[in-house]
Structure 1
Amino acid sequence: MSSTQSSSDQVSRVDRLGPAEIAEILALARTAGDADGADPMDEHVLLRLRDGYAAASHLVARAADGTLTGYAHLDTSDPDHGVGVELMVHPAYRRRGTGRMLARGVLATATGPLRAWAHGDHPSAAALAVDLGFQRARVLWQLRRPLAAPLPEPRLPDGVTLRAFRPGSDDEAWLTLNARAFADHPEQGRWTAEDLRVRLAEPWFDPAGFLLAVESTTDRLLGFHWTKVHERPGSARIGEVYVLGVEPTAHGGGLGRALTAAGLAYLRDQRGLDRVMLYVDESNTGAVALYERIGFARWAAHVNYQLG
Protein backbone atom coordinates (compact mmCIF):
# COMPACT_ATOMS: atom_id res chain seq x y z
CA MET A 1 0.00 0.00 0.00
CA SER A 2 2.57 2.47 -1.10
CA SER A 3 1.95 6.17 -1.00
CA THR A 4 1.68 8.44 -4.03
CA GLN A 5 -0.09 11.27 -2.25
CA SER A 6 0.13 12.81 1.18
CA SER A 7 -2.52 11.41 3.51
CA SER A 8 -4.61 13.71 5.68
CA ASP A 9 -5.82 10.75 7.73
CA GLN A 10 -5.22 10.63 11.46
CA VAL A 11 -4.09 7.41 13.14
CA SER A 12 -4.93 6.74 16.79
CA ARG A 13 -4.30 3.81 19.11
CA VAL A 14 -7.25 2.16 20.89
CA ASP A 15 -6.81 -0.49 23.55
CA ARG A 16 -10.49 -1.41 23.82
CA LEU A 17 -12.97 -1.08 20.97
CA GLY A 18 -16.63 -0.27 21.45
CA PRO A 19 -19.47 -2.04 19.61
CA ALA A 20 -19.82 0.76 17.04
CA GLU A 21 -16.10 0.68 16.23
CA ILE A 22 -16.13 -3.10 15.91
CA ALA A 23 -19.06 -2.89 13.49
CA GLU A 24 -17.17 -0.31 11.41
CA ILE A 25 -14.06 -2.49 11.24
CA LEU A 26 -16.03 -5.60 10.26
CA ALA A 27 -17.78 -3.59 7.52
CA LEU A 28 -14.40 -2.33 6.29
CA ALA A 29 -13.12 -5.92 6.17
CA ARG A 30 -16.09 -6.96 4.01
CA THR A 31 -15.58 -4.00 1.65
CA ALA A 32 -11.86 -4.66 1.29
CA GLY A 33 -12.43 -8.38 0.80
CA ASP A 34 -15.01 -7.81 -1.92
CA ALA A 35 -12.64 -5.44 -3.73
CA ASP A 36 -9.56 -7.64 -3.47
CA GLY A 37 -11.03 -11.11 -3.84
CA ALA A 38 -9.38 -12.14 -0.54
CA ASP A 39 -10.38 -11.43 3.03
CA PRO A 40 -7.95 -8.84 4.43
CA MET A 41 -7.84 -10.33 7.92
CA ASP A 42 -7.45 -13.82 9.28
CA GLU A 43 -10.58 -15.54 10.60
CA HIS A 44 -9.32 -15.78 14.18
CA VAL A 45 -8.77 -12.00 14.24
CA LEU A 46 -12.32 -11.30 13.07
CA LEU A 47 -13.75 -13.74 15.62
CA ARG A 48 -11.75 -12.19 18.43
CA LEU A 49 -12.80 -8.70 17.36
CA ARG A 50 -16.44 -9.66 17.65
CA ASP A 51 -15.84 -11.21 21.07
CA GLY A 52 -14.00 -8.16 22.38
CA TYR A 53 -10.73 -10.06 22.77
CA ALA A 54 -8.53 -8.23 25.28
CA ALA A 55 -4.98 -9.29 24.31
CA ALA A 56 -4.75 -6.88 21.38
CA SER A 57 -4.13 -3.27 20.47
CA HIS A 58 -5.79 -1.44 17.62
CA LEU A 59 -4.66 1.35 15.31
CA VAL A 60 -7.50 3.22 13.63
CA ALA A 61 -7.13 5.61 10.70
CA ARG A 62 -9.85 8.16 10.01
CA ALA A 63 -10.35 10.90 7.45
CA ALA A 64 -11.10 14.46 8.54
CA ASP A 65 -14.85 13.72 8.35
CA GLY A 66 -14.49 10.72 10.68
CA THR A 67 -14.71 8.03 7.98
CA LEU A 68 -12.81 4.87 8.89
CA THR A 69 -10.11 4.58 6.20
CA GLY A 70 -7.83 1.92 7.66
CA TYR A 71 -7.21 -0.40 10.57
CA ALA A 72 -4.33 -2.41 12.05
CA HIS A 73 -4.76 -5.20 14.59
CA LEU A 74 -1.88 -6.11 16.91
CA ASP A 75 -2.29 -9.51 18.58
CA THR A 76 -0.17 -9.55 21.74
CA SER A 77 -1.41 -12.87 23.13
CA ASP A 78 1.74 -14.86 22.33
CA PRO A 79 4.81 -12.80 23.28
CA ASP A 80 7.17 -15.76 22.77
CA HIS A 81 6.33 -15.76 19.06
CA GLY A 82 6.02 -12.00 18.63
CA VAL A 83 3.16 -9.67 17.76
CA GLY A 84 0.75 -10.76 15.02
CA VAL A 85 -0.21 -7.91 12.69
CA GLU A 86 -3.17 -7.56 10.32
CA LEU A 87 -3.60 -4.32 8.37
CA MET A 88 -6.18 -3.13 5.87
CA VAL A 89 -7.08 0.10 4.03
CA HIS A 90 -10.44 1.04 2.53
CA PRO A 91 -10.28 0.60 -1.28
CA ALA A 92 -11.50 4.17 -1.86
CA TYR A 93 -8.69 5.61 0.30
CA ARG A 94 -5.68 3.73 -1.03
CA ARG A 95 -2.53 5.22 -2.55
CA ARG A 96 -2.73 8.14 -0.11
CA GLY A 97 -0.18 6.89 2.40
CA THR A 98 -2.71 5.50 4.89
CA GLY A 99 -1.24 2.00 4.83
CA ARG A 100 2.26 3.34 5.40
CA MET A 101 1.04 5.51 8.30
CA LEU A 102 -0.59 2.50 9.92
CA ALA A 103 2.51 0.35 9.37
CA ARG A 104 4.75 2.97 10.95
CA GLY A 105 2.29 3.16 13.83
CA VAL A 106 2.66 -0.59 14.28
CA LEU A 107 6.45 -0.25 14.40
CA ALA A 108 6.19 2.54 16.97
CA THR A 109 3.65 0.66 19.12
CA ALA A 110 4.80 -2.96 19.11
CA THR A 111 7.73 -4.43 21.00
CA GLY A 112 9.51 -7.59 19.95
CA PRO A 113 9.32 -9.53 16.69
CA LEU A 114 6.46 -8.83 14.28
CA ARG A 115 4.51 -11.29 12.10
CA ALA A 116 2.31 -9.73 9.40
CA TRP A 117 0.09 -11.42 6.82
CA ALA A 118 -0.43 -10.11 3.30
CA HIS A 119 -3.62 -11.84 2.20
CA GLY A 120 -3.68 -12.32 -1.55
CA ASP A 121 0.02 -11.38 -1.88
CA HIS A 122 -0.76 -7.96 -3.35
CA PRO A 123 2.25 -6.15 -4.88
CA SER A 124 1.55 -3.02 -2.82
CA ALA A 125 1.73 -5.01 0.41
CA ALA A 126 4.97 -6.68 -0.71
CA ALA A 127 6.50 -3.30 -1.59
CA LEU A 128 5.55 -1.82 1.78
CA ALA A 129 6.95 -4.84 3.62
CA VAL A 130 10.28 -4.58 1.80
CA ASP A 131 10.48 -0.83 2.39
CA LEU A 132 10.03 -1.34 6.14
CA GLY A 133 12.57 -4.14 6.41
CA PHE A 134 10.23 -7.15 6.70
CA GLN A 135 11.37 -10.52 5.36
CA ARG A 136 9.15 -12.94 3.44
CA ALA A 137 8.99 -15.93 5.80
CA ARG A 138 6.05 -18.18 4.94
CA VAL A 139 3.56 -18.79 2.12
CA LEU A 140 0.05 -20.20 2.57
CA TRP A 141 -1.51 -21.46 -0.65
CA GLN A 142 -5.23 -21.41 -1.36
CA LEU A 143 -6.05 -24.37 -3.59
CA ARG A 144 -9.36 -24.93 -5.37
CA ARG A 145 -11.13 -27.81 -7.06
CA PRO A 146 -14.41 -28.26 -8.96
CA LEU A 147 -16.71 -30.75 -7.28
CA ALA A 148 -18.30 -31.73 -10.59
CA ALA A 149 -15.11 -33.63 -11.47
CA PRO A 150 -14.97 -37.26 -10.27
CA LEU A 151 -14.03 -37.71 -6.60
CA PRO A 152 -11.85 -40.48 -5.19
CA GLU A 153 -13.60 -43.20 -3.21
CA PRO A 154 -13.36 -42.71 0.58
CA ARG A 155 -11.73 -46.07 1.39
CA LEU A 156 -11.33 -46.22 5.17
CA PRO A 157 -8.75 -48.50 6.80
CA ASP A 158 -10.07 -51.66 8.43
CA GLY A 159 -11.58 -51.06 11.86
CA VAL A 160 -12.28 -47.36 11.21
CA THR A 161 -15.69 -45.75 10.80
CA LEU A 162 -16.93 -42.20 10.22
CA ARG A 163 -19.41 -40.29 12.36
CA ALA A 164 -20.41 -36.67 12.95
CA PHE A 165 -18.82 -34.50 15.64
CA ARG A 166 -20.90 -34.24 18.84
CA PRO A 167 -20.59 -30.75 20.37
CA GLY A 168 -20.01 -30.94 24.11
CA SER A 169 -19.07 -34.62 24.05
CA ASP A 170 -16.17 -34.60 21.59
CA ASP A 171 -14.65 -31.21 22.40
CA GLU A 172 -11.84 -32.32 24.72
CA ALA A 173 -10.86 -35.39 22.69
CA TRP A 174 -10.84 -33.35 19.49
CA LEU A 175 -8.66 -30.61 21.00
CA THR A 176 -6.16 -33.25 22.12
CA LEU A 177 -6.09 -34.83 18.66
CA ASN A 178 -5.84 -31.44 16.97
CA ALA A 179 -2.82 -30.52 19.11
CA ARG A 180 -1.12 -33.82 18.23
CA ALA A 181 -1.94 -33.62 14.52
CA PHE A 182 -0.67 -30.03 14.28
CA ALA A 183 2.12 -30.11 16.86
CA ASP A 184 4.45 -28.24 14.50
CA HIS A 185 1.88 -25.82 13.11
CA PRO A 186 2.33 -22.20 14.32
CA GLU A 187 -1.41 -21.52 14.71
CA GLN A 188 -3.64 -24.58 14.42
CA GLY A 189 -1.82 -26.68 16.99
CA ARG A 190 -2.36 -24.08 19.72
CA TRP A 191 -6.16 -23.95 19.56
CA THR A 192 -7.82 -23.70 22.96
CA ALA A 193 -11.28 -24.64 24.19
CA GLU A 194 -12.27 -21.01 23.62
CA ASP A 195 -11.05 -21.12 20.00
CA LEU A 196 -13.24 -24.16 19.45
CA ARG A 197 -16.22 -22.69 21.31
CA VAL A 198 -16.47 -19.54 19.21
CA ARG A 199 -16.42 -21.56 16.00
CA LEU A 200 -19.05 -24.01 17.19
CA ALA A 201 -21.26 -20.97 17.84
CA GLU A 202 -20.81 -19.57 14.32
CA PRO A 203 -23.86 -19.57 11.99
CA TRP A 204 -21.95 -21.64 9.43
CA PHE A 205 -21.15 -24.47 11.85
CA ASP A 206 -22.64 -27.77 10.71
CA PRO A 207 -21.94 -30.82 12.94
CA ALA A 208 -22.91 -33.18 10.12
CA GLY A 209 -20.06 -31.70 8.07
CA PHE A 210 -17.54 -32.19 10.88
CA LEU A 211 -16.52 -35.78 10.13
CA LEU A 212 -14.64 -37.85 12.69
CA ALA A 213 -12.75 -41.06 11.90
CA VAL A 214 -12.97 -43.29 14.95
CA GLU A 215 -11.74 -46.72 15.96
CA SER A 216 -14.79 -48.94 15.59
CA THR A 217 -14.35 -50.89 18.82
CA THR A 218 -13.36 -48.03 21.15
CA ASP A 219 -14.63 -44.83 19.45
CA ARG A 220 -11.10 -43.39 19.84
CA LEU A 221 -10.55 -40.41 17.53
CA LEU A 222 -8.05 -41.12 14.76
CA GLY A 223 -8.69 -38.24 12.38
CA PHE A 224 -11.16 -35.61 11.26
CA HIS A 225 -12.31 -33.52 8.31
CA TRP A 226 -14.10 -30.34 9.35
CA THR A 227 -15.85 -28.78 6.37
CA LYS A 228 -17.20 -25.26 6.03
CA VAL A 229 -19.52 -23.49 3.59
CA HIS A 230 -18.91 -19.85 2.70
CA GLU A 231 -22.10 -17.96 1.89
CA ARG A 232 -21.80 -14.24 1.21
CA PRO A 233 -24.52 -12.10 -0.43
CA GLY A 234 -23.62 -11.43 -4.04
CA SER A 235 -21.03 -14.23 -4.18
CA ALA A 236 -21.28 -17.86 -5.23
CA ARG A 237 -21.27 -20.42 -2.43
CA ILE A 238 -18.05 -22.35 -1.98
CA GLY A 239 -17.06 -25.17 0.34
CA GLU A 240 -13.85 -25.41 2.30
CA VAL A 241 -11.68 -28.16 3.69
CA TYR A 242 -11.60 -26.15 6.90
CA VAL A 243 -9.34 -28.38 9.01
CA LEU A 244 -8.17 -31.90 8.24
CA GLY A 245 -5.94 -33.84 10.62
CA VAL A 246 -4.83 -37.38 11.39
CA GLU A 247 -3.46 -38.90 14.59
CA PRO A 248 0.32 -39.20 14.02
CA THR A 249 0.32 -42.93 14.88
CA ALA A 250 -2.31 -43.50 12.16
CA HIS A 251 -0.26 -41.98 9.33
CA GLY A 252 0.54 -44.09 6.31
CA GLY A 253 -2.71 -46.03 6.14
CA GLY A 254 -4.61 -43.80 3.70
CA LEU A 255 -6.81 -42.22 6.35
CA GLY A 256 -6.04 -38.64 5.28
CA ARG A 257 -7.00 -39.35 1.68
CA ALA A 258 -10.19 -41.15 2.77
CA LEU A 259 -11.21 -38.27 5.06
CA THR A 260 -10.56 -35.76 2.28
CA ALA A 261 -12.73 -37.71 -0.15
CA ALA A 262 -15.54 -38.17 2.38
CA GLY A 263 -15.66 -34.44 3.16
CA LEU A 264 -15.67 -33.46 -0.51
CA ALA A 265 -18.51 -35.90 -1.16
CA TYR A 266 -20.46 -34.38 1.73
CA LEU A 267 -20.04 -30.85 0.36
CA ARG A 268 -21.17 -31.97 -3.10
CA ASP A 269 -23.95 -34.42 -2.27
CA GLN A 270 -25.39 -33.02 0.97
CA ARG A 271 -24.70 -29.29 0.57
CA GLY A 272 -25.14 -29.04 -3.20
CA LEU A 273 -21.83 -27.25 -3.87
CA ASP A 274 -19.88 -27.27 -7.12
CA ARG A 275 -16.48 -26.02 -5.91
CA VAL A 276 -14.26 -26.25 -2.87
CA MET A 277 -11.12 -24.59 -1.52
CA LEU A 278 -8.51 -25.22 1.14
CA TYR A 279 -5.39 -23.63 2.62
CA VAL A 280 -2.05 -25.40 2.92
CA ASP A 281 1.47 -24.27 3.76
CA GLU A 282 3.79 -24.21 0.77
CA SER A 283 6.41 -25.94 2.94
CA ASN A 284 4.07 -28.90 3.58
CA THR A 285 5.07 -30.58 0.34
CA GLY A 286 3.44 -33.89 1.25
CA ALA A 287 0.01 -32.31 1.77
CA VAL A 288 0.36 -30.15 -1.36
CA ALA A 289 1.18 -33.26 -3.41
CA LEU A 290 -1.79 -35.15 -1.91
CA TYR A 291 -4.23 -32.38 -2.76
CA GLU A 292 -2.87 -31.88 -6.25
CA ARG A 293 -3.19 -35.62 -6.94
CA ILE A 294 -6.91 -35.44 -6.19
CA GLY A 295 -7.55 -32.47 -8.45
CA PHE A 296 -6.76 -29.30 -6.48
CA ALA A 297 -4.87 -26.48 -8.20
CA ARG A 298 -3.25 -23.30 -6.89
CA TRP A 299 -5.56 -20.30 -6.78
CA ALA A 300 -3.98 -17.63 -4.57
CA ALA A 301 -1.18 -17.08 -2.06
CA HIS A 302 -1.08 -15.49 1.39
CA VAL A 303 2.35 -14.38 2.55
CA ASN A 304 3.63 -13.98 6.09
CA TYR A 305 6.30 -11.32 6.62
CA GLN A 306 8.48 -11.11 9.71
CA LEU A 307 10.61 -8.43 11.32
CA GLY A 308 12.99 -8.97 14.21
Structure 2
Amino acid sequence: MTLRAVAIGIGHYLPERVVPNSEFEATLDTTDEWIQSRSGIQQRHFAAEGETTSNLAARAAEAALQDAGITTADVDAIIVATSTADLTFPSAATMVQSELGMTHGFAFDIQAVCAGFVYALSTANAIILSGQARRVLVIGAETFSRIMDWTDRATCVLFGDGAGALVLEAREGDGTAADSGILATDLHSDGQFKDLLYVDGGVSTQSTGHLRMQGNQVFRHAVEKLASTAETALEKAGLTSEDVDWIVPHQANIRIIQGTARKMGLDMDRVVVTVQDHGNTSAASIPLALSVAKQRGQIKPGDLIVTEAIGGGLAWGAVVLRW
Protein backbone atom coordinates (compact mmCIF):
# COMPACT_ATOMS: atom_id res chain seq x y z
CA MET A 1 0.00 0.00 0.00
CA THR A 2 1.06 3.60 -0.67
CA LEU A 3 0.25 6.65 1.44
CA ARG A 4 -1.49 9.45 -0.44
CA ALA A 5 -2.52 13.00 0.49
CA VAL A 6 -6.18 13.07 -0.55
CA ALA A 7 -8.41 16.15 -0.92
CA ILE A 8 -11.45 15.72 1.32
CA GLY A 9 -12.79 19.28 1.47
CA ILE A 10 -12.65 22.55 -0.47
CA GLY A 11 -13.98 26.04 0.17
CA HIS A 12 -13.46 29.69 -0.64
CA TYR A 13 -14.28 33.21 0.45
CA LEU A 14 -14.58 36.46 -1.50
CA PRO A 15 -14.89 39.96 -0.01
CA GLU A 16 -18.28 41.58 -0.42
CA ARG A 17 -17.10 44.49 -2.54
CA VAL A 18 -17.29 43.72 -6.25
CA VAL A 19 -15.32 46.04 -8.53
CA PRO A 20 -16.36 46.01 -12.20
CA ASN A 21 -13.97 47.19 -14.91
CA SER A 22 -16.08 50.30 -15.40
CA GLU A 23 -15.01 51.58 -11.96
CA PHE A 24 -11.49 52.19 -13.30
CA GLU A 25 -12.71 54.37 -16.18
CA ALA A 26 -13.12 57.38 -13.90
CA THR A 27 -9.47 57.46 -12.82
CA LEU A 28 -7.49 55.72 -15.57
CA ASP A 29 -7.13 55.92 -19.33
CA THR A 30 -8.83 52.56 -19.78
CA THR A 31 -12.14 50.96 -20.65
CA ASP A 32 -14.00 47.76 -19.86
CA GLU A 33 -13.37 46.63 -23.44
CA TRP A 34 -9.61 47.28 -23.16
CA ILE A 35 -9.30 45.33 -19.91
CA GLN A 36 -11.37 42.39 -21.14
CA SER A 37 -9.57 42.16 -24.47
CA ARG A 38 -6.16 41.93 -22.80
CA SER A 39 -6.94 39.87 -19.73
CA GLY A 40 -10.43 38.37 -19.90
CA ILE A 41 -11.24 40.03 -16.57
CA GLN A 42 -14.69 41.56 -16.07
CA GLN A 43 -14.65 42.17 -12.32
CA ARG A 44 -12.78 41.43 -9.11
CA HIS A 45 -13.35 41.63 -5.35
CA PHE A 46 -11.55 44.02 -2.98
CA ALA A 47 -11.23 43.54 0.77
CA ALA A 48 -13.00 46.03 3.00
CA GLU A 49 -11.11 48.45 5.20
CA GLY A 50 -9.80 46.49 8.17
CA GLU A 51 -10.36 43.14 6.41
CA THR A 52 -7.03 41.32 6.31
CA THR A 53 -5.55 38.35 4.48
CA SER A 54 -5.88 36.16 7.58
CA ASN A 55 -9.57 37.11 7.85
CA LEU A 56 -10.19 35.94 4.27
CA ALA A 57 -8.13 32.80 4.86
CA ALA A 58 -10.06 31.88 8.00
CA ARG A 59 -13.42 32.21 6.21
CA ALA A 60 -12.22 29.98 3.37
CA ALA A 61 -10.85 27.50 5.90
CA GLU A 62 -14.22 27.30 7.66
CA ALA A 63 -15.91 26.54 4.33
CA ALA A 64 -13.37 23.81 3.53
CA LEU A 65 -13.71 22.22 6.97
CA GLN A 66 -17.49 22.21 6.62
CA ASP A 67 -17.20 20.62 3.18
CA ALA A 68 -14.90 17.94 4.63
CA GLY A 69 -17.24 17.31 7.56
CA ILE A 70 -14.51 17.84 10.14
CA THR A 71 -13.50 20.46 12.71
CA THR A 72 -10.19 22.05 13.67
CA ALA A 73 -9.84 19.30 16.29
CA ASP A 74 -9.18 16.95 13.37
CA VAL A 75 -6.50 19.16 11.75
CA ASP A 76 -2.79 18.78 12.50
CA ALA A 77 -1.33 21.65 10.51
CA ILE A 78 -2.17 24.83 8.59
CA ILE A 79 -0.20 26.17 5.65
CA VAL A 80 -1.08 29.57 4.21
CA ALA A 81 0.32 30.57 0.81
CA THR A 82 0.40 34.36 0.61
CA SER A 83 2.52 37.34 -0.40
CA THR A 84 0.31 39.79 1.49
CA ALA A 85 0.37 38.61 5.10
CA ASP A 86 -1.18 40.90 7.72
CA LEU A 87 2.12 41.58 9.48
CA THR A 88 5.82 40.98 8.94
CA PHE A 89 5.41 38.38 11.69
CA PRO A 90 3.84 36.32 13.10
CA SER A 91 2.66 34.34 10.10
CA ALA A 92 -0.83 34.69 8.68
CA ALA A 93 -1.19 30.95 9.29
CA THR A 94 -0.85 31.36 13.07
CA MET A 95 -3.44 34.13 12.92
CA VAL A 96 -5.79 31.79 11.07
CA GLN A 97 -5.04 29.11 13.65
CA SER A 98 -6.07 31.54 16.40
CA GLU A 99 -9.16 32.77 14.55
CA LEU A 100 -10.31 29.18 14.11
CA GLY A 101 -9.79 28.49 17.82
CA MET A 102 -7.13 25.85 17.12
CA THR A 103 -4.50 25.62 19.88
CA HIS A 104 -2.69 22.45 18.83
CA GLY A 105 -0.59 21.45 15.83
CA PHE A 106 1.55 23.85 13.82
CA ALA A 107 1.04 26.61 11.27
CA PHE A 108 3.28 28.52 8.88
CA ASP A 109 3.27 30.60 5.68
CA ILE A 110 4.74 29.92 2.25
CA GLN A 111 5.67 32.79 -0.06
CA ALA A 112 6.04 31.95 -3.74
CA VAL A 113 3.70 34.67 -5.04
CA CYS A 114 1.23 33.30 -7.62
CA ALA A 115 2.85 29.85 -7.45
CA GLY A 116 2.36 29.82 -3.68
CA PHE A 117 -0.54 27.38 -3.55
CA VAL A 118 1.27 24.85 -5.74
CA TYR A 119 4.29 25.13 -3.44
CA ALA A 120 2.00 24.79 -0.40
CA LEU A 121 0.31 21.67 -1.81
CA SER A 122 3.70 20.11 -2.50
CA THR A 123 4.87 20.92 1.03
CA ALA A 124 1.68 19.59 2.62
CA ASN A 125 2.02 16.42 0.58
CA ALA A 126 5.59 15.93 1.85
CA ILE A 127 4.50 16.54 5.45
CA ILE A 128 1.74 13.93 5.16
CA LEU A 129 3.93 11.36 3.40
CA SER A 130 6.64 11.80 6.05
CA GLY A 131 4.13 11.10 8.83
CA GLN A 132 4.38 14.54 10.47
CA ALA A 133 0.65 15.20 10.03
CA ARG A 134 -2.46 13.27 9.08
CA ARG A 135 -4.62 16.21 8.02
CA VAL A 136 -3.34 19.52 6.67
CA LEU A 137 -5.39 22.62 5.88
CA VAL A 138 -3.81 24.28 2.84
CA ILE A 139 -4.92 27.85 2.15
CA GLY A 140 -4.16 30.44 -0.51
CA ALA A 141 -5.17 33.97 0.50
CA GLU A 142 -4.30 37.44 -0.77
CA THR A 143 -5.18 41.12 -0.47
CA PHE A 144 -3.31 42.35 -3.52
CA SER A 145 -5.44 45.50 -3.58
CA ARG A 146 -3.13 46.74 -0.78
CA ILE A 147 -0.02 46.73 -3.02
CA MET A 148 -1.44 48.23 -6.21
CA ASP A 149 -0.22 51.41 -7.86
CA TRP A 150 -3.60 52.91 -8.79
CA THR A 151 -1.98 55.08 -11.48
CA ASP A 152 -0.58 52.08 -13.39
CA ARG A 153 -3.31 50.83 -15.71
CA ALA A 154 -1.15 47.90 -16.84
CA THR A 155 -1.25 46.27 -13.39
CA CYS A 156 -3.92 47.67 -11.07
CA VAL A 157 -6.83 46.41 -13.20
CA LEU A 158 -5.57 42.82 -13.14
CA PHE A 159 -5.59 41.83 -9.49
CA GLY A 160 -8.18 41.03 -6.85
CA ASP A 161 -8.55 39.74 -3.30
CA GLY A 162 -9.85 36.39 -2.09
CA ALA A 163 -9.03 33.07 -0.47
CA GLY A 164 -9.43 29.36 -1.10
CA ALA A 165 -8.73 26.38 1.15
CA LEU A 166 -8.25 22.65 0.70
CA VAL A 167 -8.15 19.90 3.32
CA LEU A 168 -5.68 17.09 2.65
CA GLU A 169 -5.91 13.79 4.52
CA ALA A 170 -3.54 10.81 4.66
CA ARG A 171 -5.13 7.74 3.07
CA GLU A 172 -3.85 4.44 1.77
CA GLY A 173 -3.68 3.86 -1.97
CA ASP A 174 -2.52 1.09 -4.25
CA GLY A 175 0.47 3.02 -5.53
CA THR A 176 -0.97 3.46 -9.03
CA ALA A 177 -2.13 6.45 -11.05
CA ALA A 178 -5.70 5.36 -10.29
CA ASP A 179 -5.27 6.36 -6.63
CA SER A 180 -7.08 9.36 -5.22
CA GLY A 181 -4.90 12.18 -3.94
CA ILE A 182 -1.71 13.90 -5.00
CA LEU A 183 0.08 11.75 -7.56
CA ALA A 184 3.02 14.01 -8.48
CA THR A 185 4.45 17.49 -7.98
CA ASP A 186 6.97 19.57 -9.92
CA LEU A 187 8.51 22.82 -8.65
CA HIS A 188 10.94 25.34 -10.18
CA SER A 189 12.33 28.83 -9.68
CA ASP A 190 14.88 31.07 -11.38
CA GLY A 191 15.85 34.28 -9.61
CA GLN A 192 17.51 35.81 -12.65
CA PHE A 193 14.01 36.83 -13.75
CA LYS A 194 13.13 38.59 -10.48
CA ASP A 195 12.75 41.99 -12.16
CA LEU A 196 9.91 40.79 -14.38
CA LEU A 197 7.38 40.70 -11.52
CA TYR A 198 8.09 42.13 -8.08
CA VAL A 199 7.05 44.60 -5.38
CA ASP A 200 9.41 47.56 -5.08
CA GLY A 201 9.42 47.62 -1.29
CA GLY A 202 9.76 45.43 1.78
CA VAL A 203 10.95 45.19 5.35
CA SER A 204 14.67 45.66 4.76
CA THR A 205 14.04 48.58 2.39
CA GLN A 206 11.63 50.10 4.95
CA SER A 207 8.80 50.68 2.50
CA THR A 208 5.60 48.88 1.55
CA GLY A 209 6.08 49.25 -2.18
CA HIS A 210 3.86 48.54 -5.17
CA LEU A 211 3.59 45.67 -7.61
CA ARG A 212 5.65 46.12 -10.79
CA MET A 213 5.41 43.86 -13.82
CA GLN A 214 6.83 43.54 -17.32
CA GLY A 215 3.68 41.97 -18.70
CA ASN A 216 4.95 40.94 -22.14
CA GLN A 217 7.99 39.20 -20.68
CA VAL A 218 5.93 37.42 -18.03
CA PHE A 219 3.53 36.21 -20.71
CA ARG A 220 6.40 34.83 -22.80
CA HIS A 221 7.79 32.84 -19.88
CA ALA A 222 4.38 31.79 -18.54
CA VAL A 223 3.02 29.75 -21.45
CA GLU A 224 6.23 27.81 -22.02
CA LYS A 225 7.00 27.15 -18.36
CA LEU A 226 3.44 26.28 -17.34
CA ALA A 227 2.98 23.75 -20.12
CA SER A 228 6.39 22.24 -19.42
CA THR A 229 5.90 21.85 -15.66
CA ALA A 230 2.40 20.38 -16.14
CA GLU A 231 3.71 17.82 -18.63
CA THR A 232 6.64 16.95 -16.33
CA ALA A 233 4.31 16.41 -13.38
CA LEU A 234 2.08 14.19 -15.52
CA GLU A 235 5.12 12.20 -16.66
CA LYS A 236 6.17 11.70 -13.03
CA ALA A 237 2.70 10.27 -12.36
CA GLY A 238 2.92 7.97 -15.39
CA LEU A 239 0.21 9.90 -17.20
CA THR A 240 -0.23 12.17 -20.24
CA SER A 241 -2.42 15.13 -21.12
CA GLU A 242 -4.90 12.71 -22.67
CA ASP A 243 -5.64 11.36 -19.17
CA VAL A 244 -6.51 14.81 -17.79
CA ASP A 245 -10.12 15.63 -16.96
CA TRP A 246 -9.48 19.20 -15.82
CA ILE A 247 -6.69 21.73 -15.92
CA VAL A 248 -7.17 24.17 -13.03
CA PRO A 249 -4.60 26.86 -13.84
CA HIS A 250 -3.51 29.95 -12.00
CA GLN A 251 -6.09 32.52 -13.06
CA ALA A 252 -3.81 35.33 -14.23
CA ASN A 253 -4.85 36.12 -17.76
CA ILE A 254 -7.17 34.36 -20.20
CA ARG A 255 -4.56 34.55 -22.97
CA ILE A 256 -2.00 32.73 -20.81
CA ILE A 257 -4.61 30.12 -19.89
CA GLN A 258 -5.56 29.60 -23.53
CA GLY A 259 -1.94 29.52 -24.70
CA THR A 260 -0.97 26.92 -22.10
CA ALA A 261 -3.94 24.72 -23.00
CA ARG A 262 -3.01 24.88 -26.70
CA LYS A 263 0.60 24.00 -25.97
CA MET A 264 -0.61 20.96 -23.99
CA GLY A 265 -3.03 19.96 -26.75
CA LEU A 266 -6.10 20.43 -24.56
CA ASP A 267 -9.45 21.96 -25.49
CA MET A 268 -10.68 24.86 -23.38
CA ASP A 269 -13.73 22.82 -22.37
CA ARG A 270 -11.35 20.87 -20.11
CA VAL A 271 -10.01 24.03 -18.45
CA VAL A 272 -11.56 25.65 -15.37
CA VAL A 273 -11.76 29.41 -15.93
CA THR A 274 -12.76 31.92 -13.24
CA VAL A 275 -10.49 34.87 -14.10
CA GLN A 276 -13.42 36.82 -15.52
CA ASP A 277 -15.08 37.01 -12.10
CA HIS A 278 -12.11 37.29 -9.72
CA GLY A 279 -9.13 38.70 -11.61
CA ASN A 280 -5.69 37.51 -10.56
CA THR A 281 -5.87 36.58 -6.87
CA SER A 282 -2.29 35.26 -6.86
CA ALA A 283 -1.85 32.34 -4.43
CA ALA A 284 -5.62 32.23 -3.85
CA SER A 285 -6.54 31.69 -7.49
CA ILE A 286 -6.11 27.90 -7.77
CA PRO A 287 -8.00 26.89 -4.60
CA LEU A 288 -10.63 29.51 -5.39
CA ALA A 289 -11.05 28.06 -8.89
CA LEU A 290 -11.14 24.49 -7.53
CA SER A 291 -13.88 25.44 -5.08
CA VAL A 292 -15.96 27.26 -7.69
CA ALA A 293 -15.53 24.34 -10.12
CA LYS A 294 -16.80 21.91 -7.51
CA GLN A 295 -19.80 24.16 -6.82
CA ARG A 296 -20.54 24.29 -10.56
CA GLY A 297 -20.51 20.51 -10.70
CA GLN A 298 -17.50 20.44 -13.04
CA ILE A 299 -15.12 18.53 -10.76
CA LYS A 300 -16.32 15.12 -9.63
CA PRO A 301 -14.80 12.25 -7.59
CA GLY A 302 -12.27 10.33 -9.64
CA ASP A 303 -11.42 13.24 -11.95
CA LEU A 304 -7.74 13.73 -12.78
CA ILE A 305 -6.75 17.35 -12.19
CA VAL A 306 -3.61 19.28 -13.06
CA THR A 307 -2.95 22.61 -11.35
CA GLU A 308 -0.15 24.85 -12.54
CA ALA A 309 1.01 28.36 -11.69
CA ILE A 310 3.81 30.86 -12.23
CA GLY A 311 4.60 33.97 -10.22
CA GLY A 312 7.28 36.39 -9.16
CA GLY A 313 10.69 34.91 -8.60
CA LEU A 314 10.16 33.60 -11.17
CA ALA A 315 8.65 30.60 -9.37
CA TRP A 316 6.49 28.00 -11.06
CA GLY A 317 5.22 24.46 -10.68
CA ALA A 318 2.43 21.95 -11.08
CA VAL A 319 0.56 19.33 -9.07
CA VAL A 320 -1.27 16.29 -10.42
CA LEU A 321 -4.05 14.97 -8.20
CA ARG A 322 -7.05 12.72 -8.50
CA TRP A 323 -10.17 14.09 -6.82
Range class of TM-score, shorter chain: under 0.3
Structure with bigger gyration radius: 1
Report 1 or 2 for greater relative contact order, CA contacts < 8 Å, sequence distance ≥ 6. 2
Looking at secondary structure, tell me which structure has more helix per residue: 2
So what's the TM-score if we normalise by structure 1? 0.25
TM-score, normalised on structure 2?
0.24
